[in-house]
Amino acid sequence: MPKIALGDPKCTSLASHESQRVADQAWEALAQAVAGCARVRVSRDGGRTFRKRDERALTAARPAGKPAAVLIYGNDGMCQTISIDLDSSRGGVPQVHKDFEAITRLLENIGIAWFADESPNGGRHIYLPLHERMSFVDASELIRRVAATWSTVDPMPMLGLTDGCIRPPGAVHKTGGVQTLLGDIKDAVAAVHMPTPPHKLEQFAAVLTEVVTPTSASSPVRHLQSVSPAGRLREPDGTYATIARTGTWDPDRYDSASEARQAVVWAAVSTGMTFLDVARRMKDGTWPGLAAFYARYAPEHRNKALSRDWNKAVSFEKHRRNNNSGSSARVGTTRGQETQGGGVHQRIRAWVNVVEFVFDDSRRDDLAARAVLAALGEAAARKGSLEVEFGNRSLALATGLNQATVGKALKRLSDEEDALIDLIRPASGVRAALWGLRVPESHRDYAENTAWMRGRVRGVRPVFRELGLPAAFVYAALERAKGSMSARELSRAAHLGGTTTREALQVLHAWGLADLSPNGRWKIGTASVQQLAEAFGITEQVAAQLQKYRQERLIWWHRLGIVRLTDSEGSVGRFD
């Protein structure tokens, strides 16, 4: 194989426009080779964070002016390039150079093709293109061993299945400048076309420092005994959902990745999911961690392996339920949404119209207040009443805002001269505050003479905890639209500024929640807000938040003398 010559970065002595041209060429030629899927995250805070909400389709065009990082793993839980990140904060630039020389010398001795880039702060990335995509389980074990061998290697980018990302050659760096390709671009492209076969990678791994990884740890398997009998729940609980989404598992609970995998499949069976439910989540990227567990099998054999695990899980669950037939099963609390019709619902919809009217351009920045009102409106529609008993915690759950923000928004709204809500009864003891939806007299004519908006009365969907409130209001406007809309029309309908609306549309478009037609008009996309929330891990966040609030409520009831807390966690009993 041809040796990749290294030297001073080519663009250092060129003019600024020439540097940008070289960076554009490097990105176009190599970014998609580094990425595990065709997705890129563009940072909005100067490169400090690369959030899921700022993800978009990866193209040959380099994002100009903003740091960008490509995702290392795909929806199948596999990568196509091993990215070794040498961080200058882990020992300084001289140590980075020393480790770089040692790693590349070893790679060349084995015959592994590679290319590399350098950041303005002296850190370096080494990229190893792979002949066969590698699973997250295997790649994470390899990078841990690399990090244990060379001190400046940061393993974290390769250890994040859903959020692991790296700046490829040509990407803007947070300190200014770009990731500069080391050597000639032709040599880097040649390395891409000479991917590393598995046996070469095994030779590389054989000389690395042994480390204790989850697959080599051993301890008793206790996961089944610790799970309560389950009824028909919509999703597995947070522990199993996290494994399915991230591919990470507790070595104190499972001896191997295979056992963790089987636990997730059993959890899906026990909650009433179907085989197709699981297969779909693995295929569409909702559960990339579970998909990574099956990456050891050839693509044509993965469904067969899943089928075997599924049948084992079904047999085990039947046996478990037969043994527990005398005990009561835990039943999920999920229920269908109530119908929204009748006289009181007409008044609720009239109130929603007034809310939209009041939050015009002069109040468009008060997003927290809009979110709180939307949550109260949805709760009123579900209950079929203009009065809603809702505490700050419940509203925090419904909106994704923190309790303090909710409290400030409620006070601000109820203190207004033409208030949209009334505090009928403050919170007292175990009772939450009782709020009434109110149409101010000054807006009564508008409420009575304006057609209701299309669609159901909805609050803020959980997925917008990640995608942001502006995206939530733009999405709501698209849901209500009778046809496609221009960005300017959406700005008016969502009561947001033009720039905010365009940014929200980019976020929605990146996740398939908004579609752009060739004539520049927007319509609602085909992606599911429920599936995205699950893929983002928001279902687990909400469950954890709910559990936290339940514990806080028990403590409060204990202080009131209504219940006593026992030694058993979460168990309560009434005082006699």
Give yes or no for residue 430 having a pLDDT over 70: no
432 vs 97: which has the higher pLDDT? 97
Span 66-75, average pLDDT: 92
* Choice among 164-178, 332-346, 403-417 with the minimum mean pLDDT: 332-346
Spatial distance between the Cα atoms of 114 and 83, rounded to a whole number of angstroms: 10
**Residue positions counted in the chain:** 576
Identify the band that residue 123 occupies on the pLDDT scale cut at 50, 70 and 90. Answer: very high
- Contacts of 6 by beta carbon, 8 Å cutoff, 6+ apart: 116, 182, 183
Give yes or no for residue 548 having a pLDDT over 90: no
Identify the band that residue 256 occupies on the pLDDT scale cut at 50, 70 and 90. Answer: confident
Identify the band that residue 13 occupies on the pLDDT scale cut at 50, 70 and 90. Answer: very low
Cα 198 from chain centroid (whole Å): 31
Q: ∠ CA 544-545-546 to the nearest 5 degrees?
A: 90
Domains observed in the chain: 10-206 (3.90.920.10), 238-323 (no CATH), 343-529 (1.10.10.10), 537-574 (no CATH)
State the Rg of the chain over Cα.
27
Per the CB < 8 A criterion, the answer to whether 140 and 149 are in contact is: no
575 vs 9: which has the higher pLDDT? 9
Per the CB < 8 A criterion, the answer to whether 174 and 68 are in contact is: no
Give yes or no for residue 150 having a pLDDT over 90: yes
Q: What is the pLDDT of residue 210?
A: 61
Spatial distance between the Cα atoms of 504 and 460, rounded to a whole number of angstroms: 15
* Choice among 17-31, 384-398, 402-416, 558-572 with the minimum mean pLDDT: 558-572
Mean pLDDT of the chain: 81
* β-sheet bridge partners, residue 387: 436
Report which listed range, 110-119, 226-235, 316-325, 524-533, is most confident.
110-119
Spatial distance between the Cα atoms of 402 and 47, rounded to a whole number of angstroms: 26
Span 418-436, average pLDDT: 83
Give yes or no for residue 28 having a pLDDT over 90: yes
Spatial distance between the Cα atoms of 102 and 180, rounded to a whole number of angstroms: 20
- Look at strands 421-425 and 55-57 and give their pairing: unpaired
Euclidean distance between the first and the last CA atom of the chain, given in angstroms as a whole number: 83
Give yes or no for residue 571 having a pLDDT over 60: no
Give yes or no for residue 70 having a pLDDT over 50: yes
Identify the band that residue 381 occupies on the pLDDT scale cut at 50, 70 and 90. Answer: confident
Per the CB < 8 A criterion, the answer to whether 531 and 465 are in contact is: no
252 vs 119: which has the higher pLDDT? 119
Q: Percentage of the chain surpassing pLDDT 70?
A: 84
Q: What is the pLDDT of residue 567?
A: 39
Per the CB < 8 A criterion, the answer to whether 186 and 124 are in contact is: no
Give yes or no for residue 549 having a pLDDT over 50: yes
Span 413-429, average pLDDT: 85
- Contacts of 384 by beta carbon, 8 Å cutoff, 6+ apart: 338, 342, 344, 345
Backbone angles phi, psi at 132, to 5 degrees: -125, 135
The SS3 call for residue 175 is coil
Span 231-253, average pLDDT: 73
Spatial distance between the Cα atoms of 39 and 289, rounded to a whole number of angstroms: 17
Span 402-414, average pLDDT: 89
Alpha helices in 111-218 (DSSP H): 136-149, 156-159, 185-192, 198-206
